[in-house]
Amino acid sequence: MKHTVHFIIAIAVILAGCTMDHTVYAPVTEVAGIEPIPKNGMHKVVAGESLYEIAWRYGLDYRVLLQWNYLPPPYRVYVGEAIYLRPQPQRMVVTKKMVPSVKPTPRAVMVSTKRIKNRYYDKEPTGPVSQWGWPARGKVTRLSKGIDIAGEVGQPILAAANGKVVYAGNGLRAYGNLILIKHNNLYLSAYAYNRTLYVQEGGLVKKGQKIANMGNAAPNKAVLHFEIRRAGKSVNPLSYLPLNFYKENRV
């Protein structure tokens, strides 16, 4: 009887294996770059930071930071200012003169001397994203709330859609040299581990425009880490990017 039971179980496993999808997908992991909100619920602004960078750091929607901190356009933050990361009781707003958060010399950002011409635009992008494009060519080596695309050091990194550069620097250690692009009031995209940056904060970019060169996420590991966030929350980029390219380049 015991041998009969083992035989039946073995047959069931074999039959199940015939119907399973044996496609091997890259592992799904969490985003390492999101930091926990401090116990006091506040972030003290240091030189070079922007509202968008602060929101990205803590995985928040920049629009709620505007509400919680009563920030008017153009949404500037100031060195030493305390930014509330949680909703606060109604409070009186006191206007005072503060020193703008002047961007210091980047620690390790390589900026091309042949910059793409960019001017500061006060007008914020508001139109819908009609179609997203792949930011780099290469194998998709990791799936998470963002994706890693393996390639070669120096290859072009492209804007995935039209938008405005709201951050370009290396203030977020987990992302290396990072570019954040605001596409409209809902969507932002991120491009991490760049070697050379070709855009500056405030510049408008077009879909497919070269914004950086690929760098290393680790020694001898050339990769682009790409994320899309909707209302401050990470979403799966593969739900937005054309799938034909992914089917040909997944691992």
Distance CA 207, CA 202 (A): 16
Does 104 score more than 60 pLDDT? no
* CATH for 110-249 (2.70.70.10, 1.10.10.10, 2.60.40.420, 3.40.50.300): 2.70.70.10
**Is 224 exposed, middle or buried (CB count within 10 Å of its CB: 0-12, 13-18, 19+)?**
buried
46-50, 57-61, 141-145, 152-156: range with highest mean pLDDT = 152-156
- Tens digit of pLDDT for each residue in 174-202? 899 999 999 999 999 999 999 999 999 99
| Per-residue model confidence (pLDDT) at position 122 | 47
Q: What is the pLDDT of residue 210?
A: 98
Q: Which amino acid is present at 192?
A: A
Q: Residue 112: which pLDDT band, with cuts at 50, 70 and 90? A: very low
Task: Identify the band that residue 91 occupies on the pLDDT scale cut at 50, 70 and 90.
Answer: low
Q: How many CB atoms lie within 10 A of CB 203?
A: 22
What pLDDT score was predicted for residue 11?
Answer: 44
CA 84 to chain centre: 22
27: how many CB neighbours lie within 10 A of its CB? 9
φ, ψ (nearest 5 deg) of residue 207: -55, 130
Question: Average pLDDT in the 12-16 region?
Answer: 41
User: In this model, does residue 209 exceed pLDDT 80?
Assistant: yes
Question: What's the mean per-residue pLDDT of the chain?
Answer: 78
Please say whether the beta carbons of 102 and 126 come within 8 A: no
What does each C-alpha distance from 207 to 15, 24, 131, 160, 168 come to in angstroms? Answer: 48, 31, 9, 5, 17
Find the angle CA(213)-CA(217)-CA(219) to the nearest 5 degrees. 105
Where residue 174 falls (left for φ over 0; alpha for ψ -120 to 50; beta otherwise) is alpha
Tell me the pLDDT tens digit for each residue of 26-66: 333 344 568 899 999 999 999 888 899 999 899 899 999 99
Instruction: Return the domain boundaries, the chain.
Output: 110-249
Among 28-42, 61-75, 106-120, top mean pLDDT goes to 61-75
Q: Are strands 146-150 and 139-144 parallel, antiparallel or unpaired?
A: antiparallel
